[in-house]
Structure 1
């Protein structure tokens, strides 16, 4: 078996296509993607590429959003994004390969020190293949050139952030023990997520990028879906379990709990509580009650 055995499998499969090709892999590097496009016969009119673009993953170098430009230049190919994608699947008409290999040099054996990977041939009509393709069809969003540029820009900002100790790759690395919102103005989150940050200072922008990195929201969402995703992350925070369970939460008690954890000063704990409150006011249906220590309560305030 040659070092590039996996690539030979992929290339030989693609060469047999007559109608449609589907390439499904979380991580895709542009050199291997171009080689895959070149392997597809010119008579094939439709090539669908399904992948995921995560800012920290792009910053870590495991995937290239620039494949959108290659797809556009090819003319037959479109890119779709599925944020929770883990499957690796390569389809040529009614035949396919399934297994562990991404479309990267190390996974396909096109570079030295290749990974040990596995691809097994099966039919496109296999129930599990049909299930995965149906799930992708139901959830994937377009991976446009414009979105690719936004992701690359945000990845570059994350790489240049001296206050970010390391690039966190969701699903690959352990997440921090505690994430607390950093951005004081939550209205900036969607603007930056959507590539509209020209008038935001560099220090503030770095904080927004760090928040978006830890939140790990998939790209391409409209503002309402984005807000719902943020709210889900907020309600999953241990610090907000009281609000989730009882419909109310005492801000002074939350500050005391943060302070008792030992990794924040009194000033930092107060700032954290104020920031969380600002996020809840912006994203959630809550109101604030100044009875003794301030409380956050679920639901609109009765007047």
Structure 2
């Protein structure tokens, strides 16, 4: 083994990378308090910090992801953004970067003791693949808030003690938006209580959300779906289009889709569908009369 490249202590290279940085971006699906604390301690006082991660309730319940990192990052005036299907692990400091397999956990980075066998390889921040990753994540992620943290923690606490089985299908594209109305049908399809013709239309929505099997009540289901909708592109749209007139909300939705090079055939219908979902699954939002304007 070459000196300085212990695969069970990848965190050592990360600390060297960030200790004189002016701007740091951390990308990882799993970020825990014990994983991020040594990184925060190594950052220069004036360094800006951006964290892009995911908060899936079942992973929070398992302890591999912790929404409480938001408090630590906020104390440094940093930002946490959420993308429900991010799986990349990248650490960018100014013009340099490390990419590989290590999550921001004590075991992943080998803090305090040898951890999992991982790899972090150095590259440049302007590497085309890394630049493309950042562009996608920044466009389709939502900024985490205290309300998001509490909603995900609540969803994690409501999960049954028995292991929740993963979804039968993988999640969908990162710029996914719901297409089926009304949203209350999702629970009945999830429980097998609707005819096959309806189920065929709704199953892609459940797959896109990554809803696991084994949720026992409609309240658990709605809380889980709401926690996922807060993250990623749907969360960004909800945040930026609420409290606007219907016309301006539709216009902003089109602008956000244009940033991704995505065309929506009927923007008004897409907005009405998303507004219905947000009002149903995210209780802090309310629809005005007519159902096309969100207040939240």
TM-score grouping bracket, smaller chain normalisation: 0.5 to 0.7
Deviation at 1:57, TM superposition (A): 1.0
* Alpha-carbon spacing, 1:10–1:129, altered in 2? closer, same or farther (3 Å): same
Aligned twin of 1:9: 13
Aligned twin of 2:190: 181
Deviation at 1:205, TM superposition (A): 8.9
Aligned twin of 2:31: 28
Of 162, 167, 188 in structure 1, the residue corresponding to residue 164 of structure 2 is 167
Are 1:56 and 1:155, in contact at CA under 8 Å, matched by a contact in 2? yes
Structure 2: tracts of 5 or more residues without a match = 171-187, 194-214, 239-275, 278-296
Instruction: Provide the aligned length of Structure 1 versus Structure 2.
Output: 199
Q: 2-side partners of 1:182 and 1:170: how far apart? A: 13
Q: 1-side partners of 2:79 and 2:66: how far apart? A: 15
Aligned twin of 2:121: 120
Aligned twin of 2:142: 141
Aligned twin of 1:83: 84
TM-score of the pair, normalised by structure 1: 0.57
Equivalent position SS for 2:190: coil
Are 2:142 and 2:236, in contact at CA under 8 Å, matched by a contact in 1? no
Aligned twin of 2:108: 107
Q: 1-side partners of 2:164 and 2:114: how far apart? A: 23
Are 1:22 and 1:48, in contact at CA under 8 Å, matched by a contact in 2? yes
TM-score of the pair, normalised by structure 2: 0.58
Q: 2-side partners of 1:16 and 1:68: how far apart? A: 23
* Alpha-carbon spacing, 1:206–1:38, altered in 2? closer, same or farther (3 Å): farther
Equivalent position SS for 1:117: coil
Deviation at 1:144, TM superposition (A): 1.3
* Alpha-carbon spacing, 1:216–1:66, altered in 2? closer, same or farther (3 Å): closer
Deviations 1:111-155 (A, max 9, x none): 546211110000001100100000011101011122111111110
Aligned twin of 2:54: 52
Q: 1-side partners of 2:229 and 2:109: how far apart? A: 26
Q: 2-side partners of 1:156 and 1:93: how far apart? A: 38
Are 2:30 and 2:64, in contact at CA under 8 Å, matched by a contact in 1? yes
Cα RMSD (Å): 3.6
Structure 1: tracts of 5 or more residues without a match = 174-178, 185-203, 226-281, 284-303
* Alpha-carbon spacing, 1:169–1:61, altered in 2? closer, same or farther (3 Å): farther
